[in-house]
Structure 1
Amino acid sequence: MRALLQRVSRASVVVDEQTVGEIGSGFLVLLGIGQEDGEAQVKTLVDKLVYLRVFEDEEGKMNRSLLDSGGQVLLVSQFTLYADVRKGRRPSFIQAAPPALAEPLVVRFKEALTAYGVHVEQGIFGAHMEVSLTNNGPVTIWLDSEQL
């Protein structure tokens, strides 16, 4: 499982010209599900995400977690995080999980975040989405469950 975290001042996602998710301060999480992913990977990434100290304290140092700061999450499914570009010019997405496996794990990811008391908005799985954000910092962090 892979997640690209962007610390944001605000973020939103639009589908068919309708805003379907919008947050203030927190993380925009682009989430990719791999072929072998399951509940263990959800737990690993969610635990890392909620306790990652990248929000500023009173002294301007990155010393507070999402939970400490009361931040929100905009969750957007992103199979393209599994793009393999080693051969040719067209990416292969063979390592990405098929929708039947990926969608329930995106749901579980949201449930695990809300179990921590985090407010979560999200895009629509499989839809063409337009994502807007104001990256705060900028701070962008790559998480891969195989490397944690």
Structure 2
Amino acid sequence: MAKVDKSRQLTIEQENAIDLLLQGKSDREVAEAVGVSRQTVTEWRNRDALFVAELNRRRQEVWGGQTERLRQLVAQAVNVLEEDLQQNQDRKLRQAAAVHILRAVGLYGVNLAPKGATDPEDIEAEWASTKALAESLKELSRLTA
């Protein structure tokens, strides 16, 4: 793997490209705005470690700032969903609210059917396999320590 030249800095075009990418612009739109080819922007995003690192760092900054704003809205959002769920006139609105709630708690689309083997021999075989794997991992850990 090639080493990254840590003394290298992003060009003005790259800095501007990052700003535009953070705004959700496409590679083509970014390229037109900063005066380079679309392929150049794609190369920056896929092969320029300094560019990718800065883009990731800036995305994390944006995400961190927005996460707190979202947390402050949670109580209001739950209140709206509760009101919509209790509304008697609009069945579609009630269903949409219910789906949002189920998604929020991770239950929407989840298979809640009971799982597991129903044959005792299958269960014992699964236990034996799990035990053998645990013993192998323990032995491996002992050998590499």
Give the TM-score range, shorter chain.
Answer: under 0.3
Structure with greater Cα Rg: 2
With normalisation by structure 1, the TM-score equals: 0.21
Structure number with higher strand proportion:
1
